[in-house]
A and B are shown apart, each in its own frame.
Chain A
Amino acid sequence: MENRLIDDRHIDFLLYEVVDAESLCELSYFSDHGRDTFSLYLQQARKLAREVLYPTYRTLDLEPPELKDGAVRVHPELEKILPRMVDLGVVSATRPYEVGGQQLPFLIFGMANAYLMAANLAAYGYLGLTTGAARLIESFGSEDLKSQYMKRMYSGEWTGTMALTEPQAGSSLADVATRAVLTDEGHYLLSGTKIFLSGGDHGITDNIVHMALARIEGAPAGIKGVSLFVVPKKRFDGEDLVDNDCVVSGLFHKIGWRGLPSISLTFGDRGDCRGYLVGEAHQGIRYMFQMMNEARLMVGLNGASTASAGYLEALRYAQDRPQGRRLKGREPGAPQVPIIEHADVRRMLLRQKAIVEGGFALLAKASALQDRGEHADDERERERASLLLDLLTPIAKSFPAEWGFEANTLSVQVHGGYGYTSEYLPEAWWRDQKLNSIHEGTTGIHGLDLLGRKVMMKGGQPLMLLGEAIAESVAAAHEAGVEGAWCEALQAAVATVGELTAHLGGLGMAGDPEGMLLHSDDYLSLLSIVVVAWQWVDMAAAAKRGLARGEDTERAFYEGKLYAAQYWIATELPKTTVLAELCRTGEDSYVRIDALSF
Chain B
Amino acid sequence: MKILVALKRVADPDNANKVKIPADGSTIDTAGLEFKPNPFDEYALETALRLTEDGTKPKVRDGEVIVVTFGPADTESTLRAALATGADRAIRVDANDDQLDGLLVAKGLKTLVAEEKPDIVLMGKQAVDGDTNQVGQALAELLDWPMATFAATIEEQEDGLVVGREVDGGVLELSIKYPAVVTVDLRIVSPSSVYSTKTDRSFKYNEGVRFSPLPAIMQARRKPLDTKSLADLVDDTGLKINYLRFEAPPARLAGVKVADAAELVDKLKNEAKVL
A interface with B by C-beta (< 8 Å)? 1, 32, 34, 36-37, 39-41, 43-44, 47-48, 51, 84, 87-89, 93, 102, 104, 551-554
Contacts and interface: CB of A to CB of B under 8 A. Distances in A.
A41 B80 CA distance: 12
B10 interface: no
B18 to A, nearest CB: 6
B63 interface: no
B31 interface: yes
A37 B221 contact: yes
A274 B135 CA distance: 66
A37 B218 contact: yes
Interface of B: 14, 18, 31-33, 77, 80-81, 84, 206, 208, 211-215, 217-218, 220-221
26 contacts: A1-B14, A36-B221, A37-B217, A37-B218, A37-B221, A40-B80, A40-B212, A40-B217, A41-B214, A44-B213, A44-B214, A48-B211, A84-B206, A87-B213, A88-B211, A89-B215, A102-B215, A102-B218, A104-B214, A551-B31, A551-B32, A552-B31, A552-B32, A553-B18, A553-B32, A554-B32
B29 to A, nearest CB: 9
Contact of A32 (B18, B212, B221): B221
Contacts of A47: 211
Contacts of A87: 211, 213
B217 A553 contact: no
B32 A43 contact: no
A292 B32 CA distance: 41
A378 B220 CA distance: 30
Contacts of A551: 31-32
A413 to B, nearest CB: 28
A546 to B, nearest CB: 12
B76 to A, nearest CB: 9
A553 B211 contact: no
Nearest to B14: A1
Nearest to B18: A553
Contacts of A1: 14
Contacts of B213: 44, 87-89
Nearest to A101: B214
B223 to A, nearest CB: 12
B32 A89 contact: no
A84 B77 contact: no
A84 B211 contact: yes
A104 B215 CA distance: 10
Contacts of B206: 84
A490 to B, nearest CB: 32
A93 B208 CA distance: 24
B77 A89 contact: no
A36 B77 contact: yes
B211 A44 contact: yes
Counting from the closest, the 3 A-B pairs by CB-CB distance are A553-B32, A89-B214, A40-B217
A40 B81 contact: yes
B209 to A, nearest CB: 9
Nearest to B210: A87
A41 B217 contact: yes
Contact of B212 (A44, A51, A84, A553): A44
B214 A93 contact: yes
Nearest to A39: B77
A88 B214 CA distance: 6
Given A39-B77, A87-B213, 20 more contacts: A36-B80, A36-B221, A37-B221, A40-B81, A40-B84, A41-B214, A44-B212, A44-B213, A48-B211, A84-B211, A87-B211, A88-B214, A93-B214, A102-B215, A104-B214, A552-B31, A552-B32, A553-B18, A553-B31, A553-B32
Nearest to B254: A335
A56 B172 CA distance: 35
Contacts of A84: 206, 211
